[in-house]
Chain A
Amino acid sequence: MIDEGLARASDTLLFAAVIAYVVAMFGYFVELSFGRLAPRPIAGGAVDTVPAPVAAAVAAPSRVPRLAGRVAVVATVVGLLLHVASAVTRGLAVDRVPWGNMYEFSSMVSLFAVVAWLGVIRRHPLRHLGGFVMLPVILYLGVAALVLYAPAAPLVPALNSYWIKIHVVGAMASSGIFMVGFVAAALYLWRSWRDRRAPDKPSRLPSAATLDRVSYRVHAFGFPVWTFTVMAGAVWAEAAWGRYWGWDPKETWSFVTWVVYAGYLHARSTAGWRGRRAAWIAVAGFASLMVTYYVVNIWVSGLHSYAGV
């Protein structure tokens, strides 16, 4: 039975969450734009040994931008709470897990991306970069609400298994984490491009080495989660379809994504591949993840087609 009132409440809460995220994005960008400039990168760029004060200098701007940054974090947390409330009400409205179709899945992926982002700024002084994470989060939610929206409905029978709680949660969490990793890799590429073009021009972005390190750490966290997702999917496939692996388009693309991210982790410790080449591989990994998710679901028919638009 579908509770229409709760379903409407869920939609409203999601809308409110998007507004909070937009506020947060502006706050982060204010902090970034008006904060103090970071010193130039150290010559030679001593990888991985950037002294903490360099990063801290960026995180300690003057008062107004700092306030904007704090407001942005509060708005992010408020947005996250509204987002969680939206997922919970959706789940209660349909009496099942709130990730049964692409609309709900997209919403949960961006939720995990926000959680991953909050985890990153707890460990690294990168608060002022939050706008770059909020941007894809808002975009994702926009696409979810405007293109993929599906009214509250019961689950397709094939999805009716407890594996939906294991396999799909893993897929959403790793996608959210990889989204943050993608942002870090893209910012690294941007920063190192700037460093090469105008090495003397100060930048508000953290040093390339810091961004590279954060990108690696986020990806290294997401990769085992993705590995687990693929394995859990194989166990589910064994129970449902009689084989653990059958090169269904979804399986193929998750494999491709896994291989590309594995390539990124290896490239980072291979001479001649470190740095920009590795970061491009991370970007390719995210592109492959998007194909696995959107292109395969919408344009390629396969066993995952029921996860309907």
Chain B
Amino acid sequence: MTATTELSTSPEDRAPAPPRVGPGAAMRRAWRTWTSMRTALLLLFLLAVAAVPGSLLPQRSLNPSGVAGYYGDHPSLAPWLDRLYAFDVYASPWFGAIYLALMVSLVGCLTPRIRLHVRALRSVPPAPPRNLSRLPVSRSFTTSASPTEVYDAARRSLRRWRVRPYDTGLSAERGYVRETGNIAFHLALLGLLAGVAMGAAWGYRGDVLVVEGDTFVNTPAAYDELHPGRLNTGDDLPPFEVTVDDFRARFLPNGAPSSYEVDVRWRPSVGAPDRKRTVRVNEPLTVRGARVYLLDHGYALHFTARLPDGTVVYDQWQPFLPDRGAANLVSDGVVKVSDLGGGLPDVGLRGRFVPTYARRGQTVFSAAPEALIPAFVYETWAGSLGLDSGLPQNVYELDTEGMVRAGGGVAFLGETIERLPGGLTVEFDGVKDFAVLHVNSDPGKRVVLVAAILALTGLILSLRIRRRRLWVKATATEAGTLVEVGGLARQDPAGYEPELASVAESLQASLEKP
């Protein structure tokens, strides 16, 4: 074995296995192919290529309406793509198969390397080669000091090296941390994947709309949308509470938001004392392993419906959802008044909320995102809302089947909508902000962070450190002691030159000192 191959820190390219027969041999061969660097490279490229379609096609997890739109535009192609998981690329079996195959290949590649490295860590640097000047980098000089003094000085200046004296000279080696870093990096990738899997299994995330003054209790029923992890039933979420006190938004002159924030009071469990916090866009609230983010906002309207005798039959805050296609937070919503008794029909109001009412010709629009001139542009419907059918209903939509249009108009804040069936009146008597909170609990997050830091550290070590050997020989000659310093580095041998030169120079300098 030559010095160069001996120094190799990576497993040698394996020689082809001798021909053997039987299923055992075939399996061994298959495993060897799977865990070879070549296969790992192919799997890496496969992974890169497989990730691309997800950035070109709309993905369900990110953009469900985009997927619906794609179905509309390509009605015959979309179902086929869907069968290939093209809209759920990153959750698809084939994407998972690629990265799991890569991880298995990684484990297979890493196990022998760890064994080799452990052996290398306990090994001693080999004896000096006969001729140091034949090494890729070498220096020599003559000194008046004796060979013993040279070796003593060399040992002192090689304090950070692993040194071993031989009869023929001194051997030194360092840079073992390169392979340690390399192994740490790859193990950390496995840890990272484990962390991601933990989050996907036991985490949960969800969105909830909370009107100012209301309290959100972290239970599945409270969410507008909840996505528990695969092994999380969602039944035992920590019951923390968040009360939304005050939402504030600031806007640029063009109507775009410049900042928003929400003051909340929160309790880690029901009945615990209140704590106050302001949640902003880059500053979530952390509570019992979950993070609460301010995701969005909008307006909620209050209506009071009364029968002619003054009985209040409706007294509620109704959120209106901003219409993304319209400027300045123009929002849509409905009010459903039912169970009026006395054979009276249900009444539904459907309309748009205009925060700052303005009009150009027939077109009503909002002149600003703030609620400066709040107006409710509505149409009224009478008939059966179908609330007693037992089917779940969307509170933001009015099913007008079985209803008749009864009228329409504009109500400003404080005004009352009259002329409804049965003498019902509906007063538009309040406007508040609502906040959409996003709750995310990811128990694997910390594992991922630690793994990422470990991976980065290992990566830097494995790319910046080189494993190298150095030998010193001192030979007594007539002209004094000839000192030869020679070195060999597996990685980037040419870059080793300056370091070896400085070792030789400092050795020479220390010998010349009295």
Q: Which A residues from 245 to 271 make CB contacts under 8 A with B?
A: 245-249, 252-253, 255-256, 259-260, 262-263, 265-267, 269-271
A296 at the binding interface (Cβ < 8 Å): yes
Q: Which A residues from 265 to 294 make CB contacts under 8 A with B?
A: 265-267, 269-273, 288
Closest residue of chain B to A255, judged by CB? B51
Q: Does A259 contact B47, Cβ atoms closer than 8 Å?
A: yes
Q: Which residues of B contact A158 (CB under 8 A)?
A: 281
Residues of chain B whose beta carbon lies under 8 Å from any beta carbon of chain A: 10, 13, 37-38, 40-41, 44-45, 47-48, 51-52, 54-56, 59, 61-62, 89-90, 136, 196, 205, 256-259, 281-284, 291, 293, 295, 438, 440, 442, 445, 448-449, 452, 455-456, 459-460, 463-464, 492-495, 497
* C-alpha spacing A239/B205, complex, angstroms: 15
Q: List 18 A-B contacts (CB under 8 A).
A: A48-B494, A52-B497, A160-B282, A217-B495, A223-B459, A223-B463, A238-B291, A242-B284, A242-B291, A247-B59, A255-B48, A263-B45, A266-B40, A266-B44, A270-B13, A270-B38, A273-B38, A300-B56
Closest residue of chain B to A251, judged by CB? B55
Residue-wise interface mask of A (230-244) relative to B, using a CB-CB cutoff of 8 A (1 in contact, 0 not): 010011001111111
Q: Which residues of A contact B442 (CB under 8 A)?
A: 243-244
Could you say which of B45, B56, B90, B448 contacts A244, with CB atoms under 8 Å apart?
B448
A97 at the binding interface (Cβ < 8 Å): no
Closest residue of chain A to B203, judged by CB? A243
Beyond A263-B44, A300-B56, 14 extra complex contacts between A and B, CB < 8 Å: A157-B256, A158-B281, A223-B459, A227-B456, A227-B459, A234-B452, A242-B295, A243-B205, A252-B52, A252-B54, A255-B51, A260-B48, A269-B10, A272-B38
Q: Which residues of A contact B283 (CB under 8 A)?
A: 239
Could you say which of B37, B55, B291, B492 contacts A253, with CB atoms under 8 Å apart?
B55
A36 at the binding interface (Cβ < 8 Å): no
* C-alpha spacing A247/B87, complex, angstroms: 12
Q: Does B59 contact A213, Cβ atoms closer than 8 Å?
A: no
Measured CB to CB, the closest approach of chain A to B294, in angstroms, equals: 10
Number of A-B residue pairs, CB cutoff 8 Å, is 117
Measured CB to CB, the closest approach of chain B to A226, in angstroms, equals: 10
* C-alpha spacing A217/B55, complex, angstroms: 31
Q: Which residues of B contact A34 (CB under 8 A)?
A: none
Measured CB to CB, the closest approach of chain A to B92, in angstroms, equals: 12
Q: Does A240 contact B45, Cβ atoms closer than 8 Å?
A: no
Could you say which of A49, A249, A263, A272 contacts B55, with CB atoms under 8 Å apart?
A249
A149 at the binding interface (Cβ < 8 Å): no
By CB atoms of chain A within 10 A, which of B10, B256, B282, B452 has the most?
B282
Q: Does B456 contact A228, Cβ atoms closer than 8 Å?
A: yes
Q: Does A161 contact B295, Cβ atoms closer than 8 Å?
A: no
Q: Does A238 contact B295, Cβ atoms closer than 8 Å?
A: no
* C-alpha spacing A140/B256, complex, angstroms: 31
A85 at the binding interface (Cβ < 8 Å): no
Q: Does A269 contact B37, Cβ atoms closer than 8 Å?
A: yes
Q: Does B41 contact A273, Cβ atoms closer than 8 Å?
A: yes
Q: Which A residues from 198 to 236 make CB contacts under 8 A with B?
A: 213, 217, 220-221, 223-224, 227-228, 231, 234-235
A50 at the binding interface (Cβ < 8 Å): yes
Q: Which residues of A contact B38 (CB under 8 A)?
A: 270, 272-273
Q: Does B10 contact A241, Cβ atoms closer than 8 Å?
A: no
Q: Which residues of B contact A288 (CB under 8 A)?
A: 48
* C-alpha spacing A296/B56, complex, angstroms: 10
Closest residue of chain A to B47, judged by CB? A259
Q: Does B48 contact A259, Cβ atoms closer than 8 Å?
A: yes
* C-alpha spacing A243/B48, complex, angstroms: 22
Measured CB to CB, the closest approach of chain B to A115, in angstroms, equals: 18
* C-alpha spacing A177/B433, complex, angstroms: 48
